[in-house]
Chain A
Amino acid sequence: MAFRLKLVPEKTNIDFFRWQAVTFWGSIALVLAAIVLTIVMGLNFGIDFRGGTTIRTESTQAVDVGAYRAAVAPLNLGDVSITEVFDPTFREDQHVAMLRIQAQEGDEAITPEVIAKVEAALQGVDPSITFLSVESVGPKVSGELIRTAILSVLAGTAAICFYIWLRFEWQFAVGAVVALVHDIALTIGIFSLFQLKFDLTIIAALLTILGYSINDTVVVFDRLRENLIKYKTTPLRDLCNLSVNETLSRTVMTSGTTLIALIALLVFGGDVIRGFVFAMTWGVIVGTYSSVYVAKNVILMLGVKRDWGKKDDGPAGTQFANVK
Chain B
Amino acid sequence: MLHIPLWKRIVIGGLCALGLLTALPNAFYARAERHNDAVVAAERAGFETEAQAADRALWPSWLPSAIVNLGLDLRGGAHLLAEVQVADVYKARMDALWPEMRRALAEARGEIGGIRRAPSDPSELRIQIEKPEAMAKAVEVARGLASPVVTLTGVGQSDLEVTAEGNELIIRLSEAERAATDDRTMQQSLEIIRRRVDEVGTREPTIQREGADRILIQVPGIGSASELKDLIGTTAQLTFQPVVGRGTDGSAIAKPGQEILPSLDEQGVFYTLEDTPVVTGEELTDARPDFDQNGRPAVSFRFNPTGARKFGDYTAANVGQLFAIVLDNEVISAPRINQHIPGGSGIITGNFTVETSTQLAVLLRAGALPAKMNFLEERTIGPELGQDSIDAGRIAAAVGFVAVVALMIASYGLFGVFATIALTINMAMIFGILSSIGATLTLPGIAGIVLTIGMAVDANVLVFERIREELRTAKGAARAIELGYEKAMSAIIDANITTFITALILFFLGSGPVKGFAVTLVVGLVTSVFTAIYVTRVMVAAWFDRKRPKSITV
Contact = CB atoms under 8 A, between A and B. Distances in A.
Secondary structure type dominating chain B contacts: helix
Contact of B498 (A1, A133, A145, A163): A163
Nearest to B443: A273
Contacts of A219: 462, 491, 494-495
Contacts of A140: 83, 376
A109 B378 contact: yes
A163 B497 contact: yes
Contact of B379 (A134, A208, A215): A134
A246 interface: yes
B385 A133 contact: yes
A218 B521 CA distance: 19
B380 interface: yes
B505 A155 contact: yes
Interface of A: 1-7, 10, 56, 58, 89, 108-110, 112, 115-116, 130-138, 140-141, 145, 148, 151-152, 155-156, 159-160, 163-164, 167, 200-201, 203-204, 207-208, 210-212, 214-216, 218-219, 221-223, 226, 246-247, 249-250, 253-254, 256-262, 264-265, 267-270, 272-273, 276-277, 280
Contact of B455 (A167, A212, A264): A212
Contacts of A200: 510-514
A5 B411 contact: yes
Contacts of A133: 379-382, 385
B390 to A, nearest CB: 10
A204 B376 contact: no
Contacts of B443: 272-273
State the majority secondary structure of interface residues on A: helix
Interface stretch (B19-27, B234-242, B398-406): B398-406
Interface of B: 73, 81, 83, 224-226, 229, 374-382, 384-385, 388-389, 392-393, 395-397, 399-400, 403-404, 407-408, 410-413, 443-444, 446-447, 450-451, 453-455, 457-458, 461-462, 465, 468-469, 472, 487, 490-491, 494-499, 501-503, 505-506, 509-514, 517-518, 521, 553
A211 to B, nearest CB: 4
Contacts of A261: 400, 403-404, 450-451, 453-455
B454 A260 contact: yes
A267 B450 CA distance: 13
Nearest to A284: B454
Given A56-B385, A222-B494, A269 B404 contact: no
Q: Which of A4, A160, A273 counts the most B-chain CB atoms under 10 A from its CB?
A: A273
A128 B516 CA distance: 34
A258 B377 CA distance: 35
Q: Which of B224, B490, B495 has the most CB of A within 10 A?
A: B495
A215 B376 contact: no
Contacts of A110: 378
A140 B377 CA distance: 9
